[in-house]
Amino acid sequence: MSFLDEARNILEETLPEILHRTQGYVPRTLVREDTSRQEAVQLRSLRRLGLAEPQRKLLDAQIMSCPRLAIIGDAGSGKSYVLQSMYLRAAYAFLSSADTPLPCFLDLARHLSLQQSVEETLAEALNRRYCGLFDRLRSDHKPGCVLFLDALDERLLAEKNPFDFVNGLFAFFKGLPRPLL
């Protein structure tokens, strides 16, 4: 079976889990990092009234075009939902076109071992979740992959030294060839 066929089969098997988690979402407005709290409150009010929103709102197309994006917010603010929705969009794009990156979703709190280094653990978790496809990306899929990493905050709470974990994440990303991210 070809890389693309295997990848499509694996995505089709994992999509129902993500789809199930995105049910029952309460809509939220995402705003750019440099938006003041007062502007954010005004945006939410405008949305509730059904009025046009100013350009401070972060649109889906803008989110998907970011090479690196961190979604920051309070517990229950919808960070995981946004990430899972972005993953679903990327997965459907991959299923319909071989020229798009393979989307890989990991819940850092559930899918990673606490015993090993972050770099080893991430690579192992990606290969385990995606049946070895992560190692094959370099040679078998030129568009590479896009990583969706959820639950960083929960993972950092479980770490003895959160700074080591974050540094390990940076080392992992730095060690990947450019087309893979």
Q: What is the pLDDT along the chain (181 residues), one digit of tens a residue?
A: 899 999 999 989 888 888 777 776 555 666 666 777 787 777 666 666 665 555 545 556 666 666 777 777 777 777 888 888 888 888 998 999 989 889 999 999 888 877 777 878 888 999 999 999 998 987 898 888 889 999 998 888 888 899 999 999 988 888 876 655 4
- Same-domain status, 90 and 176: yes
Q: How many structural domains are present in the chain? A: 2
- Same-domain status, 166 and 101: yes
pLDDT at 163: 92
- Beta carbons of 111 and 157 less than 8 angstroms apart: no
pLDDT at 56: 46
pLDDT at 148: 92
- Beta carbons of 174 and 118 less than 8 angstroms apart: no
Residue 163 lies in a domain: yes
- Beta carbons of 4 and 98 less than 8 angstroms apart: yes
- Same-domain status, 102 and 166: yes
Q: Rounded CA gap, 90 and 10, in Å? A: 14
- Same-domain status, 105 and 166: yes
- Same-domain status, 104 and 52: no
- Bridge partners of 106? 149
pLDDT at 180: 54
Give the range of the structural domain holding residue 136, as residue numbers without chain letter.
3-21+78-180
pLDDT at 6: 92
Q: Name the maximum alpha-carbon separation found in the chain.
A: 54
Residue 119 lies in a domain: yes
- Same-domain status, 7 and 61: no
132: amino acid identity, one letter: G
- Same-domain status, 110 and 39: no
